[in-house]
């Protein structure tokens, strides 16, 4: 784990300091990174807020918040907002509740430590040319839920190492937090808003394995005189129990508005079969899907294996693939 609480090399240091290991010939020494702050129970974090990710342990900084609709199939209590009922996955109706997520930058120094637990290139775009299958990725961007954030403060004027940090943010000691958005961040957010915006989050728990899915519409491309619509989806798997389990298989059902129903089976996810344990309880990855129709939906199961060799299936909450975004301009990525 790249970061942790600790007293460091100075016994008198208060316990609320955030420390990171630093390699030295005589071994690893803890180095002060910042001071933890009280997490916000109400309201939201502002642009420039430094934080430690509560699940993956990386240092990050908030770029801007998104307001999402969280469809949580584990919550039985009635809420009054927009409802959803996706065909093909039972008749249970789920109500959406507004929840805050954040677009964040990951500290590049921590990416090697989390690469086996979480993809550090979770944000992809369709390339701006004729090849409809071409994608490009922006490394070190993530989407983080409000409760994942452990806020801290730092006196370092460049506390996060990321190629976009100084392009997007500048230090202003008169502000709290002291990192404010540059015009380039505002322009980038505005330009790429349709492909970055997180609007719906779907969550369901089976046998103490919680699956969270966030779909994103990426745009439409023309191929062989037909339209191909692309989405990416980010999935987080969390083991809420102490028993060690390993993901072995995935089984997807993909329904297109054109009337087709596709079944996809395979070993693991993104070439991996992650182990979820008490020490490493979560795994996050992203993937892509394309349809020849402007909408559809997906659902399925992940098959997990227990230490005794027995298997069980974990439900993937059904989620809609919608393309109701403005198609006028393709994503511009980092070119402003």
Q: What pTM was computed for the model? A: 0.84
Q: Which of 95, 140, 99 is nearest to 120 (CA)?
A: 140
Domain-by-domain residue ranges, the chain?
A: 34-75+96-322
Q: Kindly give the confidence (pLDDT) of every residue in the chain, 336 residues in length, as a single tens digit, with 9 standing for 90 and above.
A: 334 433 333 333 344 777 766 655 555 667 778 899 999 998 999 999 999 999 999 999 999 999 999 999 998 545 444 444 444 444 467 888 999 999 999 999 999 889 889 877 667 878 665 555 567 788 899 999 999 999 999 989 999 999 999 999 999 999 999 999 999 999 999 988 888 888 899 999 999 999 999 999 988 888 778 889 999 999 999 999 999 999 999 999 999 998 999 999 999 999 999 999 999 999 999 999 999 999 999 999 999 999 999 999 999 999 999 986 545 444 444 443
Q: How far apart are alpha carbons 172 and 182 in whole angstroms?
A: 11
Which phi and psi (to 5°) does residue 146 adopt? Answer: -55, -40
What homologous superfamily does CATH list for 34-75+96-322?
A: ApaG domain (2.60.40.1470)
Q: How far apart are alpha carbons 313 and 311 in whole angstroms?
A: 7
**For 192-240, how does the pLDDT look when each residue is reduced to its tens digit (9 = 90+)?**
888 888 889 999 999 999 999 999 998 888 877 888 999 999 999 999 9
């Amino acid at each position: 784990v790249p970061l942790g609480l600790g007293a460091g090399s100075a016994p008198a240091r208060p316990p609320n300091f955030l420390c990171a290991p630093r390699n030295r010939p005589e071994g690893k020494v803890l180095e002060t990174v910042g001071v933890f702050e009280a997490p916000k129970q109400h309201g939201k974090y502002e642009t420039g807020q430094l934080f430690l990710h509560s699940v993956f342990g990386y240092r990050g900084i908030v770029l801007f918040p998104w307001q999402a609709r969280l469809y949580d199939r584990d919550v039985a209590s009635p809420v009054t907002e927009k409802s959803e009922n996706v065909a093909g996955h039972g008749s249970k109706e789920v109500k959406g509740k507004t929840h805050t997520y954040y677009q964040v930058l990951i500290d590049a120094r921590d990416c090697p430590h989390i690469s086996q637990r979480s993809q550090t290139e979770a944000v992809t775009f369709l390339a701006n040319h004729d090849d409809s299958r071409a994608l490009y990725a922006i490394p070190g961007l993530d989407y983080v839920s409000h409760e994942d954030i452990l806020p801290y403060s730092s006196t370092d004027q460049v506390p996060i190492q990321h190629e976009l940090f100084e392009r997007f943010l500048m230090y202003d000691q008169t502000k709290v937090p002291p990192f404010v958005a540059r015009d380039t961040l505002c322009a980038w957010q505005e330009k790429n808003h349709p492909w970055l915006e997180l609007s719906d989050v779907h969550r369901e728990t089976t046998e103490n394995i919680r699956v969270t899915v966030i779909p994103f519409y990426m745009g439409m491309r023309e191929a062989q005189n037909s339209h191909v619509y692309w989405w990416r989806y980010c999935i987080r798997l969390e083991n809420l129990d102490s028993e060690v389990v390993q993901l072995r298989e995935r089984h997807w059902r993909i329904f297109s508005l054109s009337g087709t129903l596709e079944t996809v089976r395979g070993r693991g996810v993104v070439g991996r079969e992650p182990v979820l344990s008490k020490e490493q309880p979560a795994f996050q990855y992203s993937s892509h899907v394309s349809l020849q129709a402007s909408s559809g939906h997906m659902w399925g199961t992940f098959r997990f294996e227990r230490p005794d060799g027995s298997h069980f299936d974990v439900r993937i909450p059904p989620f809609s693939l919608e393309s109701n975004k403005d198609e006028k301009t393709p994503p511009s990525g980092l070119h402003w």
